[in-house]
Amino acid sequence: MSEAAVKEKAGYLVRFTPAQRVEHFVTMVDFVGLVATGLPQKFYTAKWAQALITAMGGIDSVRWVHRFFGVVLIIAVVWHGIGALRAILSRKVGFSMAVNKRDFTDAVQTLRYYLGLEDHPAAFDRYDYKQKWEYWSLMIGNVIMILSGLTLMYPTFVARLGPGEIIPAAKVAHSNEGLMAFLVITIWHIFNAHLHPDVFPFDASIFTGKISRERMEHEHPLELARAEGREPPGHH
pLDDT digits (tens, 9 = 90+) for 126-159: 999 999 999 999 999 999 999 999 999 999 999 9
Helix, strand and coil in the chain, % to nearest 5: 70, 5, 30
Q: What angle do CA 33, 133, 2 make, to 5 degrees?
A: 90
Per the CB < 8 A criterion, the answer to whether 123 and 232 are in contact is yes
Average pLDDT, the chain: 89
Per the CB < 8 A criterion, the answer to whether 185 and 31 are in contact is yes
pTM attached to this predicted model: 0.85
Interval 52-71: pLDDT, tens = 999 999 999 999 999 999 99
How far is residue 74's CA from residue 216's CA, in Å, rounded to a whole number? 33
- Give the mean pLDDT of 215-221: 89
Decide if pLDDT at 22 tops 50.
yes
Interval 1-19: pLDDT, tens = 444 444 555 578 898 999 9
